[in-house]
C-alpha cells in the first residue's frame, strides 16, 4: 500500500512540474508514447472481490496517423475486499489488469487534444492479504473511454480520462486516471522542443547604400552616387519586366512540395528568356527555434529551390545565389500558426531592366 501511495504522489508532483512548461506542438503520426497514470477503480460486481481501489497504470502507445492511435496498458489498484465476501471480507487486496484499445484524437493541430477510445480489458488476478490470492477467470470486457491530452511541449503531456468496461451482461465497471506521458518520434520530432520568445526584426539592410531597403529595392546594385527614387531605381531604369517566385514550406522542412514545381518552371523559363539576368533566392523561417537552427534551415530552403532550377530545369548555377535569412525578415508578427506558415518560404524577384 505504501508503494502505491508513493507512486500516486510522484505522478502528481510530475504533473505540477510540467505545468510550468511552455505550450508547443501537439503529437503527430509516427509518435511513440510511454507514460504512467494515477488510477481509481470501482467495480460493479462481488466476484471481483475488490470493493474499490486506487493505484497506477503503465501504458504505451503509437499513432498511425495524426488522429488514430493504439494503446496497451497494465494496472494495479489496491483496496479492500468487498465486505459481503465471507472470511476475507474487509482484507486488503490488489487487483491486476490489462487493457488494449484504439484511440481517436480530435483537435490534432492544437496542444490540447480530446480523445475517445474503444478496446478490451481483462482482470487477471487479485492478491489478498494473508495469501488468499485468487486468479480471476472472467470474460474479457468491452471498454470505452474519453479523455484529454495536453502537450506542454512535443515530448511531454498531461493526460486525464474516464472509462467504462462492460461484460455484455449486467455488469459495468468504471475507472478514472490522470498522469503524464513521454513522447518521441513523429513527423515533428526534429522540431525544437520549445518556442523561443519573438526576435525583433533586424535593422534595414541596404547592400548598395542607395538609401532604399533591400526588401523594397527594385534596382539592387545601383552604382555609388546615383540618385534613386523610393523604389531604389534611377529615373532612366524604372521600366522593368519581372517575375516573382514564392515557395512555401512545411514546418521544419526544406523539401519542395510538388504543387510549387510549376512556379519554379516558370521562373526557369524567364531566366532562359533573359540570359543577362541573375537571381538571389532568399530562404526564410518562422520564429520557432533558435537563431542558429533557423539560419541553417533557411539556407537549406534557398538551396533546395536553387538545386531544382539547376538540376531539373537547366539554369546556369552561376546566375543563381542562394541566401538564408533565418527568422529576421518575417512577413508578419508570427502571432499564430497561420502567420508562421506564411513566413516559411523561399522567394525571389527576378527583373529585367529596360532604359526609357
- pLDDT tens-digit profile of 221-274? 777 777 788 888 876 544 556 788 999 999 999 999 999 999 999 999 999 988
Residues 164 and 240 in one domain: no
Who has greater pLDDT, 350 or 213?
Answer: 213
The per-residue pLDDT of the chain, averaged, comes to 80
Residue 177: inside a domain: yes
- pLDDT tens-digit profile of 298-310? 999 999 999 999 9
Residues 178 and 247 in one domain: no
Residues 165 and 17 in one domain: yes
Residues 272 and 337 in one domain: yes
| Per-residue confidence (pLDDT) for residue 274, from 0 to 100 | 85
Residues 127 and 265 in one domain: no
Which has the closest alpha carbon to 323: 354, 289, 347? 347
Q: Which residues of 166-179 are buried (b: 16+ CB within 10 A; e: fewer)?
A: ebeeebebebbbbb
Residues 247 and 322 in one domain: yes
Residues 246 and 158 in one domain: no
pTM over the 0.75 mark: no
Residue 201: inside a domain: no
Listed in sequence order, the residues at least 6 apart from 245 whose beta carbon sits closer than 8 Å to its beta carbon are 263, 264, 266, 267, 279, 281, 305, 346, 347, 348, 349, 350
Return the CATH number at 292. Answer: 3.30.1330.60
Residue 308: inside a domain: yes
Residue 70 is placed in which grid cell?
Answer: 493504439
Q: Which residues pair with 67 in a beta bridge?
A: none
Residue 158: inside a domain: yes
Residues 345 and 246 in one domain: yes
Domain-ending residue, one of 165, 185, 205: 185
Domain-ending residue, one of 164, 185, 206: 185
- pLDDT tens-digit profile of 288-299? 999 999 999 999
- pLDDT of 12 > 60? The answer is no
Task: Quote the domain boundaries for residue 338.
Answer: 235-353
Residue 191: inside a domain: no
Residues 64 and 181 in one domain: yes
Residue 55: inside a domain: yes
Return the CATH number at 36. Answer: 2.40.160.20
Residues 246 and 329 in one domain: yes
- pLDDT tens-digit profile of 66-94? 899 999 999 888 777 665 555 555 566 67
Q: How far is CA 2 from the centre of its chain?
A: 38
How many helices and strands in the chain, by DSSP H and E?
4, 13
What value does the mean pLDDT take over residues 319-338?
92
Number of domains in the chain: 2
Residue 110 is placed in which grid cell?
Answer: 492544437
Amino acid at each position: 500500500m505504501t508503494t502505491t501511495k508513493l507512486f500516486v504522489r510522484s505522478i502528481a508532483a510530475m504533473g505540477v512540474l510540467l505545468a510550468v512548461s511552455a505550450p508547443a506542438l501537439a503529437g503527430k503520426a509516427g509518435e511513440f508514447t510511454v507514460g504512467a497514470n494515477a488510477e481509481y477503480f470501482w467495480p460493479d460486481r462481488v466476484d471481483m472481490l475488490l470493493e474499490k481501489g486506487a493505484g497506477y497504470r503503465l501504458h504505451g502507445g503509437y499513432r498511425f496517423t495524426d488522429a488514430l492511435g493504439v494503446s496497451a496498458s497494465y494496472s494495479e489498484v489496491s483496496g479492500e475486499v468487498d465486505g459481503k465476501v465471507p472470511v476475507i471480507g474487509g482484507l486488503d487486496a490488489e487487483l491486476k489488469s490489462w487493457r488494449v484499445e484504439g484511440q481517436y484524437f480530435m483537435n490534432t493541430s492544437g496542444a490540447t487534444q480530446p480523445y475517445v477510445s474503444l478496446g478490451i480489458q481483462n482482470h487477471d488476478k487479485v492478491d489478498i492479504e494473508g495469501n488468499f490470492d485468487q486468479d480471476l477467470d472472467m470474460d474479457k470486457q468491452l471498454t470505452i473511454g474519453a479523455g484529454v491530452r495536453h502537450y506542454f511541449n512535443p515530448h511531454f503531456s498531461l493526460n486525464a480520462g474516464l472509462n467504462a468496461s462492460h461484460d455484455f451482461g449486467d455488469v459495468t465497471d468504471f475507472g478514472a486516471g490522470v498522469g503524464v506521458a513521454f513522447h518521441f518520434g513523429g513527423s515533428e520530432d526534429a522540431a525544437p522542443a520549445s518556442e523561443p520568445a519573438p526576435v525583433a526584426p533586424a535593422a534595414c539592410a541596404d547592400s548598395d547604400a542607395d538609401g532604399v531597403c533591400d526588401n523594397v529595392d527594385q534596382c539592387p546594385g545601383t552604382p555609388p552616387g546615383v540618385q534613386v527614387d523610393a523604389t531604389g531605381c534611377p529615373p532612366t531604369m524604372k521600366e522593368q519586366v519581372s517575375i516573382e517566385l514564392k515557395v512555401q514550406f512545411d514546418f521544419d522542412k526544406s523539401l519542395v512540395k510538388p504543387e510549387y514545381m510549376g512556379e519554379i518552371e516558370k521562373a526557369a523559363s524567364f531566366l532562359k528568356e533573359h540570359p543577362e539576368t541573375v537571381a538571389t533566392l532568399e530562404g526564410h523561417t518562422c520564429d520557432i527555434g533558435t537563431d542558429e537552427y533557423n539560419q541553417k534551415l533557411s539556407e537549406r530552403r534557398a538551396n533546395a529551390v536553387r538545386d531544382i532550377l539547376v538540376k531539373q530545369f537547366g539554369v546556369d548555377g552561376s546566375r543563381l545565389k542562394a541566401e538564408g535569412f533565418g527568422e529576421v525578415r518575417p512577413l508578419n508578427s508570427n502571432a499564430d500558426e497561420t502567420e508562421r506558415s506564411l513566413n516559411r518560404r523561399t522567394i525571389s524577384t527576378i527583373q529585367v531592366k529596360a532604359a526609357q
